[in-house]
Structure 1
Amino acid sequence: MNDTHADAFIGINWGSSNCRAYLIDARGQVVDSLEAAAGVANAQRDDMVALANRIRRQWPQAERVYAVGMIGSNIGWVDAGYVDAPAGIAEVAARLVPAQIGELALRIVPGVACERAADGAPDIMRGEETELLGLLAAGSLQGASIVALPGTHTKWVAVQDGRIGEFMTAMSGELFDRLASGGVLASVLSGPGEDGPAFRAGVRSAVEGHHGLSTLLFGVRARFIRGVLPRQEASAYLRGVLIGAELADARRLFPALATCAVPLVGSAAVCALYAAALQEIGIASHVVASADAVARGLMEIDALARHQS
Structure 2
Amino acid sequence: MIITIDTGTTNTRVALFKGKQRVDQVKANVGVRNTSIDGNNQLLITTIAEAVVELKSKHSLQDSNIQAILAAGMITSNLGLHEVPHLVAPVSLEDFATNIKSVVIPSISTLPIHFVPGVKNLDTNNLESVVGLDIMRGEEAEALAIADLFDIKQDAIIALPGSHSKFVSIDSKQAIQGCCTTLAGELNAIITSNTILTSSLENRFSDSICETALLEGYQAAERFGIGHALFQIRLQEQFEGKSHEQLASFLIGVILHSDIKALSSAPQLGFTSGIPVYIGGTGLLCEATALLVKHLYPENPVYQCNDTQDLSAIGSMYIAKQANII
**Shorter-chain TM-score above 0.5:** yes
Aligned to 2:140: 129
TM-fit CA distance, 1:114:
0.6
Aligned to 1:5: none
255 and 136 in structure 1: CA distance in 2 versus 1, 3 angstrom threshold: closer
Aligned to 1:195: 209
Aligned to 2:120: 113
CA distance in 1, matches of 2:265, 2:169: 13
Aligned to 2:17: 24
The answer as to 2:85 corresponding to 1:81 is yes
- Please tell me the residue identity of whatever aligns with 1:114: N
Out of 149, 152, 156, the residue aligned to residue 145 of structure 1 is 156
Provide Cα deviations, 1:166-200, integer angstroms capped at 9, x if missing partner.
Answer: 22111111111122221322222133144212222
Secondary structure at the residue paired with 1:189?
A: coil
- Matched-pair contact (CA < 8 Å) for 2:6–2:313: no
- Please tell me the residue identity of whatever aligns with 2:24: D
- Please tell me the residue identity of whatever aligns with 1:15: G
Provide Cα deviations, 1:135-167, integer angstroms capped at 9, x if missing partner.
Answer: 323444343522211111111122102111122
Aligned to 1:285: 302
CA distance in 2, matches of 1:71, 1:258: 36
Alignment identity in percent? 25
Provide Cα deviations, 1:20-49, integer angstroms capped at 9, x if missing partner.
Answer: 112223x33322222222222236533212
Alignment of 1:3-22 (within 5 A): 8-22=1-15
CA distance in 2, matches of 1:231, 1:268: 19
CA distance in 2, matches of 1:71, 1:247: 30
The answer as to 2:98 corresponding to 1:94 is yes
CA distance in 1, matches of 2:107, 2:284: 38
Aligned to 1:69: 73
What is the root-mean-square deviation of aligned Cα atoms in Å?
2.7
CA distance in 1, matches of 2:152, 2:284: 20
- Please tell me the residue identity of whatever aligns with 1:202: G
- Matched-pair contact (CA < 8 Å) for 1:144–1:263: no
280 and 306 in structure 1: CA distance in 2 versus 1, 3 angstrom threshold: closer
Count, aligned residues: 295
CA distance in 2, matches of 1:150, 1:140: 21
Query: More deviation in 261-270 or 65-74?
Result: 261-270
CA distance in 1, matches of 2:317, 2:162: 24
- Please tell me the residue identity of whatever aligns with 1:182: N
The answer as to 2:230 corresponding to 1:213 is no
Aligned to 1:34: 26
- Matched-pair contact (CA < 8 Å) for 2:94–2:323: no
TM-fit CA distance, 1:248:
2.1
Out of 48, 55, 63, the residue aligned to residue 52 of structure 1 is 48
Alignment of 1:161-176 (within 5 A): 161-176=173-188
- Matched-pair contact (CA < 8 Å) for 2:34–2:44: no
CA distance in 1, matches of 2:24, 2:49: 17
Out of 255, 275, 278, the residue aligned to residue 242 of structure 1 is 255
Secondary structure at the residue paired with 2:34?
A: coil
- Please tell me the residue identity of whatever aligns with 2:20: G
Structure 2 residue ranges without an equivalent (≥5): 57-61, 124-129
Aligned to 2:313: 295
Q: TM-score, normalised by structure 1?
A: 0.84
Provide Cα deviations, 1:95-115, integer angstroms capped at 9, x if missing partner.
Answer: 223262733352322111114
